[in-house]
């Protein structure tokens, strides 16, 4: 891990109508760091990921990815103007996201789900993309499922394809938005195992929104507790989970761990 932040939110404001979801959020992630975001429903956790994926714009502040503003472009005089679609498209290639609902293309085979974007967006040849796709299926333990369609797979297998698909774009940063919350309990483990293996073996920067507290504790370098659009408390998992400073964090952990 380096000290340089690869993601930086500087007083970021996000509103939906009258609702302020991010309230001057300051947040940094270092290169290679594995960070979990936990917190109550509606506290803005998924919004942080969606802003990074350029699926939601921002109403104030600056988001920087890899040292460059995401939602802005620097003019010749150094001033910041709203980003063009070309800039957003370029910036987006640094990030991959694994969604709660998998979001696979239902009419494509597993392998094609993985090769489509590398061919269309990165310009890889079909052969190169296929080779990369097969390696990734191996990594997520699905080498024998390449020619199946998503509906022929279990939820856990579909989510592992979702992870392979995100990795196929070789992102520097991988975002996970509650990747196991749509799964039957018996399928959660296989997905967490794949994510855990990635965290251990790769120097990818990972940002994970999760309700799986035990997993967050195992896999993260740092855990951030979000509350009302800000980070209420953050720290090493062993500190935050065993001896939080804030009463609000304690209440939240008590409530989720009792469940």
Ligand X SMILES: Nc1ncnc2c1ncn2[C@@H]1O[C@H](COP(=O)(O)OP(=O)(O)OP(=O)(O)O)[C@@H](O)[C@H]1O
Residues that bind ligand X (CB under 6 A): 16, 19, 21, 39, 41-47
Q: In which element (H, E) is residue 26 found?
A: strand 19-30
Burial of 150 (0-12, 13-18, 19+ CB in 10 A): buried
What's the length of the chain? 259
CB of 192 to ligand X, least distance (A): 18
CB of 6 to ligand X, least distance (A): 21
Q: How far is CA 228 from the centre of its chain?
A: 20
Q: Burial letters for 215-236: b for 16+ Cβ neighbours within 10 Å, e otherwise?
A: bbbebbbbbbbbbebbbbbbbe
Between 209 and 240, CB nearer to ligand X? 209
Among 5, 8, 7, CA closest to 61 = 8
CB of 153 to ligand X, least distance (A): 24
Tokens 């390696």, residue? 135
Contacts of 20 (CB under 8 A, 6+ apart): 13, 14, 229
CB of 21 to ligand X, least distance (A): 4
CB of 50 to ligand X, least distance (A): 7
Between 45 and 130, CB nearer to ligand X? 45
Between 121 and 257, CB nearer to ligand X? 257
Between 46 and 158, CB nearer to ligand X? 46
Between 3 and 18, CB nearer to ligand X? 18
CB 50, CB 24: distance < 8 Å: no
Between 33 and 177, CB nearer to ligand X? 177
CB of 9 to ligand X, least distance (A): 13
């Amino acid at each position: 891990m380096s000290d340089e932040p690869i993601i930086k939110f500087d007083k970021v404001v996000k509103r939906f109508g009258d609702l302020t979801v991010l309230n001057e959020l300051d947040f940094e992630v270092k290169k290679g760091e594995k960070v979990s975001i936990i917190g109550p429903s509606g506290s803005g956790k998924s919004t942080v990921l969606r802003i990074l994926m350029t699926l939601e714009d921002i109403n104030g502040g600056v988001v920087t990815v890899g040292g460059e503003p995401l939602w802005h472009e620097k003019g010749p005089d150094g001033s910041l103007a709203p980003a063009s679609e070309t800039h957003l498209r370029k910036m987006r290639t640094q990030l991959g996201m694994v969604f709660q609902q998998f979001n696979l293309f239902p009419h494509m085979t597993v392998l094609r789900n993985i090769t489509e974007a590398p061919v269309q967006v990165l310009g890889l040849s079909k052969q190169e993309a296929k080779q990369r796709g097969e390696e990734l299926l191996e990594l997520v333990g699905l080498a024998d499922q390449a020619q199946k369609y998503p509906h022929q797979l279990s939820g856990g297998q579909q989510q592992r394809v979702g992870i392979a698909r995100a990795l196929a774009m070789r992102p520097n940063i991988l975002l996970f938005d509650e990747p196991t919350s749509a799964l039957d309990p018996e399928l959660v483990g296989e997905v967490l195992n794949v994510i855990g293996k990635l965290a251990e073996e790769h120097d990818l920067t990972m940002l994970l929104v999760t309700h799986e507290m035990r997993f967050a504790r195992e896999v993260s370098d740092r855990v951030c507790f979000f509350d009302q659009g800000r980070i209420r408390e953050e720290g090493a998992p062993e500190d935050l989970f065993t001896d939080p400073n804030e009463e609000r964090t304690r209440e939240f952990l008590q409530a989720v761990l009792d469940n």
